[in-house]
Structure 1
Amino acid sequence: MAWVTPLYSKERVKRAGATLFDDDATDDQFEEALQVLNNWRSSHSYPVNTFQAGLRNKMSALGIDGLVAQRLKRIPSIVAKLERFSSMSLSRMQDIGGLRAVVSTARQIYQLRDSYVLHSKFDHVLVSENDYIQNPKDSGYRGIHLVYKYNNRKGGATAYEGLLLELQLRNDIQHAWATAVETAGVFLNQALKSSVGNERWLEFFCYASSSFAILEGSPVLDAHKELSNLQTFVKMLELETELEVIKSLGMYNTLVENLKDTNRQGTHYYLLQLDATAMNVSVNGFSRESLPQATTEYLEQEKLAKNKPGVQVVLVAAQSLAALRKAYPNYFLDTGKFVSRIRRIRAMVERGDELKTLKVPRLGRAPVKRSR
């Protein structure tokens, strides 16, 4: 397997990140910075793949069915994050390499979390843990994030020592919510995922998050704690009607299904390009051995998409095209599960269910203690 290894020092990577914001940088300096960034990003593939294999083994041992996918962070997302957090450097960004598990229930999320934090015996270092289920973000985002520093001296992969990667654990409905936010952001051409954009849309997603949490027995957002279940549902539905959320998202669910067949023998990496304006997704498949070619093509496609509103490119890994579509539905404009949950809540309200005394499933565990 031809894995990409880091060719530059962390100090050089840090300078490359700064060059991306240097108005005085020449075209050659900017191009060189992109090449450094791409090598640094591509180098995360090996540790992410190692964790991906471990994640699948853990899920199998626990008897948990779910989706696993991995991705290398898009350059526009890297640049936007560096811009939002002025104190951050490219060499210290924690989620350039990321992998995701999507399972059925919150209980399964915590089973996986505990298998890493409490029971893992590997040498990789847990840098941080964020429980966004018990403590959801103000935006409404939920899930558990674990950030690890790669440490595998015994295995001989010393070139990747110290690289950071992020593991996201979500259940289906948390994933559906996050997908809807990203999809709406694409078509509104606003960074809703980063809480930037139309305030009414952001408010709607906050109420949707709390509404979904009520059905799952998870904490609502702090801003909604004084509201009854019914009040929370009604406010969400009022905003849905005002913004025509279901209609808007539904317009983009008519994506042409006949994608290029990349599910041939040996395909592991998928290069996706979403053109929201043309309502089209293209998918190119690469084998494990073709990772260097895939990452080079990734960078070239990002350059071409730079000044095209509504065009996004991402390189991800999954076991099949079907699994890819489930793990990254936002790139296939698929918000079906989110819309279905909204309709379910509307039906409950219209039926006049006893929402104030609504019985919901509990998580079945004590609040998570933060790791030091």
Structure 2
Amino acid sequence: MKYTNGDIRRLGETIVKNNGIISDDELDLLQDYRKSYTEPLSATFNQLVEIKNSVGRDGIIAFRLKRIRTIINKVLRNPSMQLNRMGDIAGIRLILENQNQIYKALKLIETEFEISGKIRDYIKDPKRIGYKGIHVYVKDKQFGKRIEIQIRTRDFHNWSTLVEITDLLYGTRLKELGYENNPKFGEFHALMSSDLELSKVQANQVYELLHETNFISKLSQTFRRNNEKVKKQWHEVLPRSKYFLIESSTSEIPSLTGFVDYDKAEEAYFKTYKDDPEALIVLTAIQKPTFDQISVAYANYILSYHTFIKDIEPIIKTLAIEALEQGKIYRFKKIFKTYEELEANGILHIWTGKADIFVTRQKNRLLLSSPDKISSRKQKLIRKEIHSDLQLRIANHHKFISDIKPLIDGESIKSWICRSFLKRNGKRIKNRLKELEIEFKN
């Protein structure tokens, strides 16, 4: 379909005028405009792969065209903005290990590309909700298209995907609208993004929101539901797949499909959108993709694990000890139950965290299987890794309990209640671990 910049500008005006409702012909025009970024995006991506490799070979790099629904929503939020001037229709995300690598990558980008517009450094000046990263716009040499590059550390990226998971699980729009969309969740994410140690008041604020919204349970249930099935979908994609269509949902297992051909992947994306404009679906490409990489890059779509489960544990432990020090037994028990849930997830992840191993449970047995035959040597290695990880987790748990014991050694009724409570907890954990017999199923 042939079109001019004026056609695209008028399409944006129509979107605003009709409150986001557009005809089939207008939708086709919007899709053609999106796809016009494909070639310049791919060329820019290939250049950035070289920069990534020179700065941090272990980094993750992925690209995507902005989702149709997100484009429409952005036009509605910014009615004075011309659609043909929207700068982030094509985007590349570069996830590196640390801030030093980020600024090295930025210098190379400034050297090798024509920079278009202001570089936004949200590391030096984070958004109110806590977002950190660098956004730089470059202009493609051949087509003159503007491409957005986002550079983040893994920690910054993990925080960002947690915001998007919150949006999905609770129907918020924090990513689009920021802190003001939901100040309670906004403050929670702002605190979780902080490099500073949380004060007692802030730590309590975090816990109260987790408790009030049942956040840990909701997250855990979603991850447990998805892990094995999404992993199996990954192993069913074509070996040479470079493009991935991921559709997520609060109630269904995420859908992951691989494509060798980009045009076919775009056709599948567009068909899915037309069938359900509200579908949460993304089409992406990842350099040398692995399940671990796609799980990190799109944790908010894959929904099978998030580092938040591990990151929140020290805060919960500190709050539990503080509750005991203040003699608040009911509060201690409530917080400790949250810790138990985190602990259960941590133990489960020891088995499920391996990308090439599927885990199913039959009564008191865990059955471990793989798309490829598991040799005796590999079985032995897996058992050794699981045992080592499990021993470390048990040691950390014992250290936590040893920190608690001096606080409940007295003869008071409160001390007795706490000791009884912890004894029952200890039995539950011991029985849970005893029951989990590992069996390999080839």
Bin for the TM-score computed over the shorter chain: 0.7 to 0.9
C-alpha distance in structure 2 between counterparts of 1:42 and 1:23, whole Å: 23
Taking the aligned partners of 1:81 and 1:24, their CA distance within structure 2 comes to 12
Counterpart of 2:246? Answer: 272
**Secondary structure at 2:251 match in 1:** coil
Structure 1 position 301, deviation (Å): 0.6
Equivalent residue for 1:128? 118
SS in 2 for 1:313: strand
CA gap of 1:277–1:262, structure 2 versus 1, over 3 A, is: same
Cα distance, 1:94 vs. partner? Answer: 1.1
Residue pair 1:48, 1:98 contacting (<8 A) in 2 also: yes
Match of 1:315 in 2: 283
Aligned to 2:426: none
Contact 1:70 1:100 in 2 (8 A): yes
Report what 2:364 is aligned to. Answer: none
The answer to whether the 8 A contact 1:127-1:149 is kept is no
Q: Deviations over 1:309-332 (max 9, x none)?
A: xx3111111132522222111111
2:85 to 80, 92, 95: 92
User: 1:305 touches 1:312 (CA, 8 Å); kept in 2?
Assistant: no
Alpha-carbon distance in 2 for matches of 1:56, 1:351: 47
d(CA) in 2 for partners of 1:72, 1:344: 38
Cα distance in 2 for residues equivalent to 1:350 and 1:54: 50
Counterpart for residue 138 of structure 1 = 128
Structure 1 residues 16 and 296, CA gap change in structure 2 (3 angstroms): farther
Normalising by structure 1, report the TM-score: 0.77
The corresponding residue for 1:298 is 269
Give the deviation of 1:101 after TM superposition. 1.1
For normalisation by structure 2, the TM-score amounts to 0.66
Q: Give yes or no for contact 2:246–2:255 (8 Å, CA) kept in 1.
A: yes
For residues 275 and 86 of structure 1, what CA distance do their matches in structure 2 show?
29
Q: 1:239, 1:245 → 2: CA distance? A: 8
Cα distance, 1:100–1:87 mapped onto 2, change above 3 Å? same
Quote the residue 2:329 is aligned against: none
Unpaired runs of 5+ residues, structure 1, are: 1-5, 153-159, 216-227, 353-372
3-state SS, counterpart of residue 94 of structure 2:
strand
Counterpart of 1:193 in 2: which secondary structure? helix
Partner of 2:186: 202
Say whether residues 1:59 and 2:49 are aligned partners.
no
Choose which of 184, 193, 202 in structure 1 pairs with 2:166. Answer: 184
Q: Is the 8 A contact 1:267 1:286 kept in 2?
A: yes
Question: Which runs of no fewer than 5 residues in structure 2 stay unpaired?
Answer: 323-442
Q: Are residues 348 and 53 of structure 1, via their aligned partners in 2, closer, same or farther at CA, if it must alter by over 3 Å?
A: farther
C-alpha spacing 1:346/1:24, structure 2 compared with 1 (3 Å): closer
**2:12 is the counterpart of 1:17:** yes
Does residue 86 of structure 2 align to residue 102 of structure 1?
A: no
Structure 1 residue 178: deviation in Å? 0.8
Written as runs of structure 1 = structure 2, the 5 A alignment for 1:190-269 is 190-194=172-176, 195=178, 197-210=181-194, 213-214=195-196, 229-254=199-224, 255=226, 256-257=229-230, 258-259=232-233, 261=235, 263-269=237-243
Shift of 1:83: 1.0
Q: Who is 1:340 aligned against? A: 310
Work out the CA distance in 2 between the residues paired with 1:125 and 1:262.
40
1:260–1:282 Cα contact (<8 Å) kept: no
In the aligned structure 2, how far is the partner of 1:328 from the partner of 1:7?
Answer: 34
Report if the CA contact (8 A) 1:262-1:283 is conserved: no
Contact (CA 8 Å) 1:48, 1:97: kept in 2 or not? Answer: yes
Larger-Rg structure:
2
Deviation at 1:302, TM superposition (A): 0.9
For 2:155 and 2:10, locate their aligned partners in 1 and report how far apart those are by CA, in whole Å: 40
Once structures 1 and 2 are overlaid, which stretch shifts more, 332-341 or 80-89?
A: 332-341
Give the alignment partner of residue 111 of structure 1, picking from 85, 95, 104: 104
CA drift of 1:270 comes to: 1.1
By how many angstroms is 1:275 displaced? 2.5
